[in-house]
Amino acid sequence: MAQKKKRRGRGKTILIIVLTLFVLAMLALIYGYIDFEFKKIGESGITPLSDWRSYLAYLMNKVPIINQYVEYQPRQVIKPSTYYTEIYESYIEKIEKDRIEIEERFKELEMKENDMKSFQAELNAKKQELDLKEEKLETEITSWQDRQTRLEQLADWFSNSDVQNIATAIASQEISVEEIVNALRLVEPGIAADIVGNLALTDQDKAGQILARLAGKEVTK
């Protein structure tokens, strides 16, 4: 009989242990499931068990008289699809805004680049114009220097040669009246007068033109 009681006691103990383990396993499963559901709810932007004030307001709203002083507003639950759709739309809106801004900046840069190209083309045209003017000026300077050298040589000849020979030489049509006048302005007035006087003996017309030019007057026939 004693052995039978011991076996029954062991059986009860084992049964209690099995039931306890089963209950603990079920509680663990229930806890895991609840945690799983809370995490899904949390993905929609709601934190479970954190809105206890709203819950108290909900309970007090059920109590007569007190419900006149308590206002309960249930929290609006947003569906995950709606929540992510709003986020997606906000990102799309921001991307579109950034795209428009980038396009505007690109247009501004393109306009500035076109202005720079126009300005560069204008500078190049001005440079070419200045180069042509400089080249023309250098040509004129060279021509003037050559002419001035020739006049100085002619004036030196007028000053150091025989007056009669000079008068005979300048009577030739190979030397223009303008060149003779410009050369005579570089010599002494007395020598210039003697040359013109001797020229008048052979060519009064040319001598008259030279005198008129020296006096600052233009003589026409």
pLDDT of residue 44: 55
Asked whether residue 5 carries a pLDDT value surpassing 60, the answer given is: no
Asked whether residue 214 carries a pLDDT value surpassing 60, the answer given is: yes
Collect all residues with Cβ–Cβ distance below 8 Å to 119 and sequence separation of at least 6. none
Collect all residues with Cβ–Cβ distance below 8 Å to 196 and sequence separation of at least 6. 184, 207, 210, 211, 214
Question: Which tens digits make up the pLDDT trace of 66-109?
Answer: 666 666 565 555 566 676 787 888 888 889 899 899 999 989 99
Question: Which tens digits make up the pLDDT trace of 15-47?
Answer: 888 888 888 888 887 876 676 666 666 665 555
Q: Provide the token pair at 104.
A: 């505007």
CA 168/CA 198 separation, integer angstroms: 8
Collect all residues with Cβ–Cβ distance below 8 Å to 200 and sequence separation of at least 6. 207, 208
pLDDT of residue 149: 85
- Residue 48 · residue 39 · CB < 8 Å: no
- pTM summary value: 0.40
pLDDT of residue 154: 80
pLDDT of residue 221: 41
Could you give the C-alpha distances from 36 to 28, 39, 41, 45, 83, in angstroms and in order?
12, 5, 9, 15, 19
Question: Which tens digits make up the pLDDT trace of 142-186?
Answer: 888 888 888 888 888 888 878 888 888 887 767 788 888 888 888
In the chain, domain spans:
12-45, 51-77, 79-146, 161-221
Average pLDDT over residues 101-120: 90
- Residue 189 · residue 156 · CB < 8 Å: no
Q: Provide the token pair at 209.
A: 């033109």
200 or 53, greater pLDDT: 200
Residue 173: Cβ-neighbour burial (10 angstroms; 0-12, 13-18, 19+): exposed
